[in-house]
Structure 1
């Protein structure tokens, strides 16, 4: 398993993967040296993440290999189906998965998402529209949702 660190508009991102695909993308809160030597397996993921942050990409096509239980993978697959620029509540997500009573399990699986941004768990909000937990921090969730919003609010001042 290879590991690299890249700089993004929302902080330093750690990527891990091998020939089977990228298995982990997370955001760090501490300062760490950015990788200067990048193995080939990361070329496509870095390019696509850069395009996403530049506003030129709305979905990802590089190979992923998330590690988790079958239930977690089922939840993560449903997260991938949430369109760019849209949100979904935990309750709606539970209904899509066929069990409204599984809302806590769905939320827990969402919280274990190993591929932030690629599997867009930041698009899941509370039923009342509130921003709820995000492994990268709520400020980053807010930033990502604003970044993906097709109707950008310009500052009046």
Structure 2
């Protein structure tokens, strides 16, 4: 099943904040439709670039508003504390389209906390058995990591695979979920 045609609607309200987490500062941004962006290593310059790019793509100027993102930050804090196993946030898929969106939606819906899936398996699930490499590209362009759990996608032979946030963060997230042993130091 393909996505409906995408028309770029200008978003009038976008909000952001930076959350301190065990994997470093995360930029979280949302619109009136839901969470739209999660960014790793959100030091000031990185966050500014991500927000400028997001604002261009959405047709708005994001405002810093931690209160508007309270449900997001509460769920992320609970996830990192080990007490939340499933996010129940509204998601705004505006920053992804086509095949990537299909793959990310399948990942979000079909790969639960503490489980992993291979790139090939995910390609098969979206009806594109020759697209395992394209699944890797979709993971790399995921605008909603952690919440849409691209860290749960591994190589078909069991290797950890790549990760846009870096392999150390992927290992930490998989350890948090009990897939890998916790790092020794």
TM-score (norm 2): 0.75
Cα distance in 2, alignment partners of residues 31 and 7 from structure 1: 13
Cα distance in 1, alignment partners of residues 180 and 104 from structure 2: 27
Aligned to 2:25: 12
Deviations 1:16-44 (A, max 9, x none): 11211110001116467xxxx74432010
Cα distance in 2, alignment partners of residues 154 and 68 from structure 1: 33
Find the residue that maps to 1:91 and give its secondary structure. Answer: helix
Deviations 1:104-142 (A, max 9, x none): 222111111100110000000011111111111100000
Find the residue that maps to 2:130 and give its secondary structure. Answer: helix
Find the residue that maps to 1:101 and give its secondary structure. Answer: coil
Cα distance in 2, alignment partners of residues 151 and 142 from structure 1: 7
Aligned to 2:157: 128
Matched-pair contact (CA < 8 Å) for 2:87–2:147: yes
Matched-pair contact (CA < 8 Å) for 2:18–2:42: no
- Runs of 4+ residues deviating >4 angstroms: 29-32, 150-155
Give, in angstroms, the shift of residue 70 of structure 1: 2.4
Tell me whether 84-93 or 63-72 shows the greater mean CA deviation: 63-72
Give, in angstroms, the shift of residue 86 of structure 1: 0.7
TM-score (norm 1): 0.87
Aligned to 2:77: 50
Residue segments in structure 2 that go unaligned for 5+ positions in a row: 1-13, 46-63
Residue segments in structure 1 that go unaligned for 5+ positions in a row: none
Matched-pair contact (CA < 8 Å) for 1:134–1:141: yes
Aligned to 1:140: 169
Cα distance in 2, alignment partners of residues 21 and 79 from structure 1: 18
Matched-pair contact (CA < 8 Å) for 2:140–2:163: yes
Cα distance in 2, alignment partners of residues 127 and 102 from structure 1: 13
How many residues are paired up?
151
Aligned to 1:78: 106
